[in-house]
Structure 1
Amino acid sequence: MPVPPNHVCEAFQTPKEVPAPLGHAWDNGTKIGDMALSQATPTALWSAKVRAGLSVEGARIARPILSTDGRYTVAGWKASAWSQGDLARRVDETALLALKLADSLASVPAPTAQRDDVFARAEAAAWQETGEAYRSLAPDTELCVGHADLLASTIFHHLLPPTIVDLVPTAALRPRGYTCALVIVDGMIAGAVDDSICDRFAHIRDIDQLLLRAVAYRRHVNNLHPEAKANTRSHINRVEDLLVSRAYAML
């Protein structure tokens, strides 16, 4: 468990309590009192600024915490208000949440910093795919910044509304249904939902094409990431074969 140094705790005014480890949703950070601290990613500042004022119907947002001198990150650390809950296999609910989140992010500017990380390269490669099952999307498709990891950033606690812990922006503006497609694909790869979820969300414009690009993104991440696992690739291949067959049927 990475523990923030004393000067970081002082900057965020953490309570004098014993640190406790947090899980994947909180970037494997540290809980101190009602605060969640974790190491900041390159998009942490953008995420914090957006989450500070974001409202999503039917969801709670983990609000960022400012340091004593008004910063969202200190020495590579970020802090957010902690909420009780856990990651869950509630894929349909999270896919619906993705559509509401897309509405809320419709007017939010994307991060301006140029990215060349594994995830940005994987995303670019996925959107350049030109297989026989692929077709171009409509030129009037609405674009917005998407959430690249919503299923792993949303926690549930009993009957309370889900909490979006963090925002992981796509590297470029994407169709408004793309976040939903990523949630569906991630759930299918994890075996957390039945394949017929694709039918339940068939009303989304170009959903089969968005699903193809979403699973291609996960394939490219698996190819590029140094910690990728071979068994994950087999699950990705199964899902991609299914989605290619669906896309062919729609052509």
Structure 2
Amino acid sequence: MTESEVVPGHVIAAFQGEAGIPEPAGHAWDNGWRVGSVIYSRSGGVSTGWSAKLRTGLKVEGVRIARPVRSTDGRFVVAGWKASSRIVGDLSRRVDETVGVALRLADALASQPAPPDPEAADPFILADRRTWEETAPEYREIKAPVQVGHADLLASTIYHGAQVPAVTDVVPFAEPRPHGYTAALVMVDGLIAGAVDIGIVDRFRHIPDIDQLLLRAVSYRRHVNDLHPEATSHGRSHIRRVEDLLMSRLADRL
């Protein structure tokens, strides 16, 4: 990061933050900055306010939620920056546990309103929509209720010793998706990262439509890789490996 990307002092003051030297907060916090007990990160577009309002009162069994910090005049975003109360923890390879978090989070989000219409040019939004437009023979229609969910939970769930996990932000889908899709994305992201074995699919076989949800999830990561300007061929090879594996397992089950 360049010096200009460090959280400005006037932003810290607007959120009534304490003075101090900003320290990198890490990927789980959108590569923001920690100053005292507050994390400052760049706003993620139109969903930032929605996520902040949601996290203000969201309760999930066995999960801590990072609460947003308001500015002196009640705003969630100041000069393109958001603020959240810090929770101690780090990203972890505890993928099975995070799938459990995903299922409980989906329960809590089932009755929540959808976020505002997203920015159509956002590569993550485009990827989500292209994913669910896939019509290859392996894909089947999923006849299930749809709801709000989390599109990047593995990268925003942190752990600290024996304490319950914490979720730093809620990143919504482009459109409502089935209940188990958040969990499927966690599983696929764990497989792509080599952080979990393929047996995780069987361990969560009870999730309705899990095979189809996994195909959509890995397709989403493929489309993100195709569209994102910072994507790499190395990342693409890992996505293809997981997609081939899931396709092969599905063929064996038919």
> TM-score normalized by structure 2?
0.96
SS in 1 for 2:220: helix
Structure 2 CA distance for partners of 1:248 and 1:115, relative to 1, 3 Å: farther
The aligned residue for residue 77 of structure 1 is 81
Q: Is the 8 A contact 1:137 1:206 kept in 2?
A: yes
What does residue range 67-216 of structure 1 map to in structure 2 within 5 Å?
Answer: 67-116=71-120, 117-138=122-143, 141-216=144-219
Separation of aligned partners in 2, 1:250 and 1:99: 24
Separation of aligned partners in 1, 2:180 and 2:252: 20
Q: Percent identity?
A: 59
Separation of aligned partners in 1, 2:225 and 2:173: 17
Separation of aligned partners in 2, 1:47 and 1:112: 11
SS in 1 for 2:187: helix
Post-superposition, which runs of at least 4 consecutive aligned residues in structure 1 deviate over 3 A? none
Asked if 1:233 corresponds to 2:236, the answer is: yes
Q: Could you say what the CA RMSD is over the residues aligned between the two structures, in angstroms?
A: 1.0
Q: Is the 8 A contact 1:147 1:169 kept in 2?
A: yes
Residue by residue over 1:5-63, the C-alpha shift from the partner in whole angstroms, topping out at 9 and shown as x without a partner, is 22211110111222211100011111010000011111211110100010011100000
Question: How far 1:115 moved relative to its partner?
Answer: 2.6
Query: Any gaps of 5 or more consecutive residues in structure 1?
Result: none
Question: How far 1:114 moved relative to its partner?
Answer: 3.6
Question: How far 1:93 moved relative to its partner?
Answer: 0.3
Q: Is the 8 A contact 2:151 2:182 kept in 1?
A: yes
Match of 1:53 among 57, 73, 82: 57
Query: Any gaps of 5 or more consecutive residues in structure 2?
Result: none
Asked if 1:224 corresponds to 2:227, the answer is: yes
How many residues in Structure 1 have an aligned counterpart in Structure 2?
249
